[in-house]
């Protein structure tokens, strides 16, 4: 009899033994279906010695039900799953889950049915039907996805289908993706670019683990360099994974990719439709998908023959996942490359201190692109000290910044104002009684969005219409907005420069690929004079007529004082500054601040990157922060305050007494209430050599918690 040890997808149990029935064959890594109680669960056949579990007597073993028709998880991926679970103190099945497609994708390809508007006029019109007809124009998806898009119930759409307003379309899930052509349109590279590209190409040919830090100033043409490595991998018939920090950036990337390779890459991210997911997953697994561009979740896919990983904008905070398995995709990408024995390129103009440190230590090979492509100069950066250059009453833009914008407008050039705050105002209060609008689920203020006339929580998505009167004192027309968001800045620009054509760029206004595409086309075509945006516009874009960048509030990111505030502020401002003067005309940057003396701001003003990194390294050394020491966090949450507090105290009471591990807290987490859960936090600061994970596992393993308590471990946390 053959025993199988499975990693199963069940929240409570993760390792179970089964037997292989006669006539079935499996290998290590096979994806199977097995009985669990009255239900069926997915499982992956694992090496028994690497997955210790309970020994069940032979007679009690149940047979597995089916081996699913997909290739077994290859050894490097299984090692990656083990490594990730171990390093991030996460359950192994939680990590492995990220590698699995949907049940439907596991079952096979074939075809599926989607629906679209038939164009027929409804005989009977209801408000919901009208909304659906409006929202679903040009869309094609499953009934459930369409219902979600149109914010109506499935029933409304079924009714429309019955009335002939929707028509079914058969979607072939096995239709092949067009082939990328490695030599479709190779550009002439600059000398620096060529040297970098040559190095990458050799590394792809060598097919050995080789981590690179591609450190190039904004506009240096990093993309073109790593495209040559992508081309070589395609020639070698190996797959490529390109990780991008945000889906919003992919539009621009896709266009450049298509221009270079003659066809778009395969996309993988959380907003794909079901049918797209199924098709993409199967193409990834079969090896048909040559180049996959995706968000961090693309990292765990079962690629058939990966030949290269690129992490673009590798410093970006969004590579860090903050729920479920709390991992950093940048770091795991390097580990995956090691297990796959392939090169990995981390590209950035503002690398994380950790990455620079590893390059200095010789772990990463550093490749520099010190100059902008085509001889464009980096922009001149100037400080606007808001203490002496005071904006007009009720305004946020200093006179000098406004004058510079006006000059650009007169010359037909573009300006970009950056403020990393969505909505109209971060806080709304009643002028009569002082009532402040707070989220019922989170310890956060509700943010007024004037365009949609709503108050919204940026943490949990709670929304409510802006009320006519104060809910506390019932005075009408009494609400005042405190502080600026991008919508308010847009109002100010409209007032000061009424003839300017404005574009407001936030995730509220640019929430579909079509809208992003339209914005980019308008900005490139010179149909926009002033862009006002959040971090969405800080990277990836190349607008040749953009010659002025204004940072509305450089101090914003420095408040709150979390671990990476300085680095993040530096990166954001350096990136947005990098949008200026990328064409023929020189660029200028004005940074509004009340703290010109802060190390970050001073380094930016002096254009002295090394000074910033040196100061940051000093500060982190003093604090025992990464990369010189290690941080970890334990976050305890519950729906009741007392339960969360009790559990946090119990953990604090059992803290290890070790010379190289210091425990701070428990204390209420900075977001003490999040999505209806009360949160407490313990911070662990350890020497670099400490075995933090083992310590934490040992520590928490001894404790029991009530049902409603969740304990999450965050290794190398970004925010808490």
The residue among 69 and 187 lying less far from ligand ADP, judged by its C-beta, is 187
| Binding string, residues 393-432; x marks residues near Zn ion by CB under 5 A | ----------------------------------------
Residue 292, classed as helix, strand or coil, is strand
Q: What are the Cα distances from residue 501, in Å, to 381, 449, 451, 532?
A: 25, 21, 17, 11
The residue among 300 and 543 lying less far from ligand ADP, judged by its C-beta, is 543
d(CA 518, CA 251): 10
The residue among 191 and 622 lying less far from ligand ADP, judged by its C-beta, is 191
Nearest approach in angstroms of CB 373 to ligand ADP is: 4
| Rounded to 5°, angle at Cα 190 from 546 and 415 | 5
Residue 330, classed as helix, strand or coil, is helix
Where do the H-state alpha helices sit in 345-485? 353-360, 399-411
Q: What are the Cα distances from residue 684, in Å, to 356, 656, 671, 710?
A: 24, 11, 18, 18
Q: Is 478 annotated as a binding residue?
A: no
Tokens of 372: 């902008």
Is 635 within 8 Å of 666 (Cβ atoms)? Answer: no
Give the strand order in the sheet containing 31-36: 15-20, 2-8, 39-46, 31-36, 66-67
Is 226 within 8 Å of 358 (Cβ atoms)? Answer: no
The yes or no reply on residue 187 touching ligand ADP (CB under 6 A) is yes
Q: Is 225 annotated as a binding residue?
A: no
Residue nearest to ligand ADP (CB): 221
Q: How many helices (H) and strands (E) does the chain have?
A: 20, 29
Nearest approach in angstroms of CB 216 to ligand ADP is: 5
- Residue 460: contacted member of ligand ADP, Zn ion, none (CB under 5 to 8 Å, by partner type): Zn ion
Tokens of 314: 């590798």
Q: Which of 314, 344, 367, 442 binds Zn ion (CB under 5 A)?
A: 442
Q: Which of 150, 359, 386, 457 binds Zn ion (CB under 5 A)?
A: 457
Q: Which of 165, 189, 342, 563 binds ligand ADP (CB under 6 A)?
A: 189
Q: Which of 219, 484, 626, 666 binds ligand ADP (CB under 6 A)?
A: 219
- Residue 293: contacted member of ligand ADP, Zn ion, none (CB under 5 to 8 Å, by partner type): none
Tell me if the bond preceding 666 is cis, omega within 30° of 0: yes
Nearest approach in angstroms of CB 463 to Zn ion is: 10
With a CB cutoff of 8 Å and minimum separation 6, the contacts of 43 are 6, 7, 8, 9, 16, 18, 31, 32, 33, 34, 64
- Residue 30: contacted member of ligand ADP, Zn ion, none (CB under 5 to 8 Å, by partner type): none
Tokens of 601: 């701001």
The residue among 192 and 567 lying less far from ligand ADP, judged by its C-beta, is 192
Is 665 within 8 Å of 679 (Cβ atoms)? Answer: no
With a CB cutoff of 8 Å and minimum separation 6, the contacts of 330 are 243, 311, 314, 315, 319, 346, 352, 355
Q: Where are the beta strands (DSSP E) in 555-646?
A: 588-593, 629-638
The yes or no reply on residue 255 touching ligand ADP (CB under 6 A) is no
Give the strand order in the sheet containing 343-348: 266-268, 291-294, 239-243, 306-312, 343-348, 210-216, 365-369
Is 314 within 8 Å of 346 (Cβ atoms)? Answer: yes
Stretch that binds Zn ion, among 89-97, 148-156, 208-216, 433-441 (CB under 5 A): 433-441
Number of alpha carbons in the 13 Å side-chain half-sphere of residue 388: 5
d(CA 188, CA 228): 11
Nearest approach in angstroms of CB 226 to ligand ADP is: 9
The yes or no reply on residue 260 touching ligand ADP (CB under 6 A) is no
- Residue 221: contacted member of ligand ADP, Zn ion, none (CB under 5 to 8 Å, by partner type): ligand ADP
DSSP 138-185: T--B-HHHHHHHHTS-HHHHHHHHHTTSEEEEEEETTPPPPPP-TTSS
Q: What are the Cα distances from residue 62, in Å, to 40, 41, 133?
A: 12, 13, 51
Stretch that binds Zn ion, among 102-110, 220-228, 452-460, 685-693 (CB under 5 A): 452-460
| Binding string, residues 510-549; x marks residues near ligand ADP by CB under 6 A | --------------------------------x-------
Nearest approach in angstroms of CB 703 to ligand ADP is: 48
For the segment 220-249, give every residue that binds ligand ADP (CB under 6 A). Answer: 220-224
Tell me if the bond preceding 80 is cis, omega within 30° of 0: no
For the segment 361-390, give every residue that binds ligand ADP (CB under 6 A). Answer: 373
With a CB cutoff of 8 Å and minimum separation 6, the contacts of 38 are none
- Residue 462: contacted member of Zn ion, ligand ADP, none (CB under 5 to 8 Å, by partner type): Zn ion
- Residue 459: contacted member of Zn ion, ligand ADP, none (CB under 5 to 8 Å, by partner type): Zn ion
Nearest approach in angstroms of CB 93 to ligand ADP is: 38
The yes or no reply on residue 487 touching ligand ADP (CB under 6 A) is no
The residue among 374 and 676 lying less far from ligand ADP, judged by its C-beta, is 374
Nearest approach in angstroms of CB 466 to Zn ion is: 16
Stretch that binds ligand ADP, among 91-99, 181-189, 383-391, 411-419 (CB under 6 A): 181-189
# binding residues, Zn ion (CB under 5 A): 7
The residue among 405 and 457 lying less far from Zn ion, judged by its C-beta, is 457
The residue among 439 and 636 lying less far from Zn ion, judged by its C-beta, is 439
The yes or no reply on residue 218 touching ligand ADP (CB under 6 A) is yes
Closest CA to 591 of 396, 381, 415, 409: 381
The yes or no reply on residue 328 touching ligand ADP (CB under 6 A) is no
- Residue 218: contacted member of ligand ADP, Zn ion, none (CB under 5 to 8 Å, by partner type): ligand ADP
Nearest approach in angstroms of CB 414 to ligand ADP is: 15
| Binding string, residues 193-212; x marks residues near ligand ADP by CB under 6 A | x-------------------
**What burial letters (b/e) apply to 653-668, b meaning 16+ CB within 10 Å?**
eebeeeeebebebbeb
Q: Is 482 annotated as a binding residue?
A: no
Nearest approach in angstroms of CB 566 to ligand ADP is: 22
The yes or no reply on residue 441 touching Zn ion (CB under 5 A) is yes
The residue among 371 and 528 lying less far from ligand ADP, judged by its C-beta, is 371
Residue 530, classed as helix, strand or coil, is strand
The yes or no reply on residue 587 touching ligand ADP (CB under 6 A) is no
The yes or no reply on residue 460 touching Zn ion (CB under 5 A) is yes
# binding residues, ligand ADP (CB under 6 A): 15
Q: Which residues bind ligand ADP (CB under 6 A)?
A: 187-190, 193, 216, 218-224, 373, 542
Annotated binding-site residues for Zn(2+) read 430, 433, 439, 442, 457, 460, 470, 473
Q: Which residues bind Zn ion (CB under 5 A)?
A: 439, 441-442, 457, 459-460, 462
């Amino acid at each position: 009899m053959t025993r199988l040890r499975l990693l199963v997808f069940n929240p409570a149990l993760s390792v179970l033994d089964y037997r292989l029935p006669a006539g079935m064959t499996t290998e290590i890594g096979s994806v199977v279906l097995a009985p669990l109680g009255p239900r069926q669960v997915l499982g992956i056949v694992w090496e028994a010695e690497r997955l210790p579990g309970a020994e069940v007597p032979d007679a009690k073993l149940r047979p597995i039900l089916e081996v699913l028709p997909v290739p077994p998880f290859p050894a490097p991926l299984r090692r990656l799953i083990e490594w990730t679970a171990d390093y991030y103190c996460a359950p192994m099945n939680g990590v492995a889950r990220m590698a699995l497609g949907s049940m439907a994708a596991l079952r096979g390809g074939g075809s599926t049915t989607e629906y679209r508007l038939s164009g027929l006029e409804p005989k009977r019109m209801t408000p919901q039907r009208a909304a659906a007809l409006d929202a679903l124009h040009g869309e094609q998806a499953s009934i459930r996805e369409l219902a979600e898009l149109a914010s109506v119930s499935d029933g409304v759409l079924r009714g429309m289908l019955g009335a002939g307003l929707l028509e079914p379309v058969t979607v072939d899930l096995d239709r092949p993706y067009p082939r990328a052509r490695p030599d479709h349109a190779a550009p002439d590279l600059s000398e620096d670019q060529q040297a970098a590209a040559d190095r990458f190409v050799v590394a792809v040919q060598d097919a050995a683990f080789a981590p690179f830090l591609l450190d190039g100033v904004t506009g240096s043409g990093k993309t073109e360099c790593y495209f040559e490595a992508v081309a070589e991998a395609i020639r070698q018939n190996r797959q490529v994974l390109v990780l991008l920090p945000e889906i919003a950036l992919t539009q621009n990337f896709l266009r450049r990719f298509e221009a270079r390779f003659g066809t778009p890459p395969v996309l993988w991210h959380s907003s794909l439709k079901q049918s797209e997911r199924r098709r993409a997953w199967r193409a990834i697994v079969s090896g048909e998908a040559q180049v996959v561009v995706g968000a961090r979740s693309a990292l765990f896919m079962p690629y058939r023959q990966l030949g290269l990983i690129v992490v673009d904008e590798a410093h970006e905070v969004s590579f860090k996942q903050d729920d479920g398995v709390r991992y950093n995709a940048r770091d795991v990408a390097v580990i995956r490359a090691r297990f796959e024995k392939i090169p990995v390129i981390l590209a950035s103009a503002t690398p994380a201190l950790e990455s620079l440190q590893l390059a200095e230590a010789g772990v990463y090979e550093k490749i520099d692109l010190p100059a902008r492509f085509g001889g464009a100069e980096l922009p001149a950066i100037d400080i606007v000290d808001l203490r002496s250059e005071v904006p007009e009453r009720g305004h946020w833009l200093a006179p000098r910044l406004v004058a510079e914008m006006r000059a650009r407008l007169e010359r037909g050039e573009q300006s970009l104002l950056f403020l990393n705050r969505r909505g109209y105002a971060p806080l709304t209060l009643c002028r009569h009684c002082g009532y402040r609008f707070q989220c019922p689920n989170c310890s956060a203020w509700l943010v007024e969005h004037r365009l949609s006339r709503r108050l919204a929580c940026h943490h949990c998505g709670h929304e409510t219409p802006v009320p006519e009167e104060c809910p506390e004192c019932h005075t009408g027309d009494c609400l005042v907005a405190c502080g600026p968001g991008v919508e308010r800045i847009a109002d100010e620009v409209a007032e000061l420069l009424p003839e300017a054509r404005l574009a407001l760029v936030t995730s509220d206004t640019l929430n579909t690929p079509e809208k992003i595409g339209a914005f980019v086309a308008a900005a490139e075509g010179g149909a926009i004079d002033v862009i006002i945006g959040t971090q969405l516009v800080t990277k990836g874009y190349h607008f040749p007529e953009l010659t002025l960048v204004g940072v509305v509030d450089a101090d914003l990111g420095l408040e709150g004082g979390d671990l990476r505030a300085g680095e993040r502020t530096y990166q954001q401002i350096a990136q947005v500054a990098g949008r200026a003067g990328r064409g023929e005309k020189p660029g200028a940057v004005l940074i509004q601040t009340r703290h010109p003396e802060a190390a970050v701001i001073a380094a930016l003003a002096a254009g002295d990157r090394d000074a910033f990194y040196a100061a940051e390294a000093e500060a982190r050394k003093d604090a025992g922060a990464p990369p010189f020491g290690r941080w970890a966090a334990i976050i305890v949450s519950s729906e009741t305050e007392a339960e969360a507090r009790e559990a946090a105290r119990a953990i604090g009471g059992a803290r290890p007494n070790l010379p190289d591990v210091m425990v701070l807290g428990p204390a209420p987490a900075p977001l003490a209430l999040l999505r209806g859960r009360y949160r407490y936090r313990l911070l662990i600061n350890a020497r670099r050599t400490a075995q933090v994970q083992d310590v934490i596992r040992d520590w928490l393993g001894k404790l029991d918690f009530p049902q409603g308590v969740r304990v999450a471990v965050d290794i190398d946390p970004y925010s808490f």
